[in-house]
Amino acid sequence: MLIERQRLQDNFSRAASGYDLRATRQRRENMRVLEAALDVLPQIGTIADIGCGTGYFAAEARGVRPEWKVLGIDMSMGMCEIAGLRCQAIAGDAAQLPLADESMDGAVSSLCYQWVEDQPNAFTELARVMKPESKVVMATLGERTLHELRECAMEADLPLSLLPMRNFAAHKALLAVAGFEVVHAERRVVTDHYASVTDLLESMRSIGAGNNFGLKSRHFVGPKRWVAMEALYEKLRTDHGIPATWEHQFFILHKPA
């Protein structure tokens, strides 16, 4: 389903003040991106952080790579306001980056591109702003993410505004078409557990990532389909709670001369 862009921006802006306390998965991926960036990006240069959120990457990078000038790009004004305390933050869309051609010495992105509807154009934009022979470190989510929720909602005929995820091969193909060499690509699938479906959805909404998960639809279609979806999900419960799968994809990219 299409992401409602304005609603997404508003959700992230509302969540910005408490984001760092709640976004544990995002912090883990940011640190993973930073570890790789320290290995493959130049020691001195201008580094774009696409989907910078609150500027967590820049804050962590400052202590180990103070020579980097990090430019944070985020669609949410609320996120940019906080990120601006940690780096130079610019409000902008990944599919239309507010950066000059071949101006970046490197780039990073952590759990951003799964939100981008027009990924082919966004990856082309990323290639446009990168200098020849530069590298990008990117973490995103793939198609198995939240498959339990999707499948239960589909069986219950419940429309949910969930993320349009792509599979691993599709991401690699799109990045190659955009002009990148995929130097490293890995995929890992992890399962977390939650006390209830409500807890799962609230954990997403609390960081702005839920796109309201069809709350508008709940109002119009009535509660019966939600109850049916929750009943189906409950059948998947284990001793640890209800499962939720996350497919993490990780790429290191090279822009040839």
**Span 125-163, pLDDT tens digits:** 999 999 999 999 999 999 999 999 999 999 998 887 676
Residue 225 structure tokens: 């389909």
Binning pLDDT at 50, 70 and 90, where does residue 165 land? confident
Q: Is residue 87 predicted with pLDDT exceeding 80?
A: yes
CA pair distance 60, 49, nearest whole angstrom? 13
Residue 39 clears pLDDT 90, i.e. is over it: yes
| Chain position carrying tokens 């902008």 | 92
Q: At 208, is the pLDDT very low, low, confident or very high (cuts 50, 70, 90)?
A: low
CA nearest to 108, candidates 142, 72, 81: 72
The DSSP-derived string for 102-152 is: T-EEEEEEES-GGG-S-HHHHHHHHHHHEEEEEEEEEEEE-TTTTHHHHHH
Query: Which tokens sit at 44?
Result: 């001195």
What mean pLDDT do residues 75-86 have?
A: 88
CA distance 14 to 11: 5
Domains and CATH numbers, the chain: 5-143+164-191+246-254 (3.40.50.150)
Amino acid residing at 125: E
**CB within 8 Å of 232: residues ≥ 6 apart:** 152, 155, 156
Encode 77-107: b = buried (16+ Cβ within 10 Å), e = exposed: ebbbbbbbebbebbbbbbbebebeeeebbbb
Give Cα 218 distance to the centre of its chain. 25
Phi-psi region of 45 (alpha: psi -120 to 50; beta: other; left: phi over 0): left
Summarised one tens digit per residue, pLDDT across range 176-206 is 999 999 999 999 999 999 999 988 888 777 6
Which of 202 and 65 is assigned the larger pLDDT? 65
Q: How far apart are CA 29 and CA 124, in angstroms?
A: 23
Residue 19 and residue 74 in contact, taking contact as beta carbons nearer than 8 Å = no
State the distance between the two ends of the chain, measured CA to CA, in whole angstroms.
37
User: φ, ψ for residue 36 (rounded to 5)?
Assistant: -70, -40
For residue 40, how many other CB atoms are within 10 A of its CB? 16
For residues 79-91, give the mean pLDDT.
Answer: 91
Of 132, 126, 107, 124, nearest to 256 by C-alpha is 132
**Cβ-proximal residues to 102 (8 Å cutoff; 6+ apart), any chain:** 128, 129, 130, 131, 132
Model confidence band, residue 221 (pLDDT cutoffs 50, 70, 90): low
Tell which wins on pLDDT, 249 or 2: 249
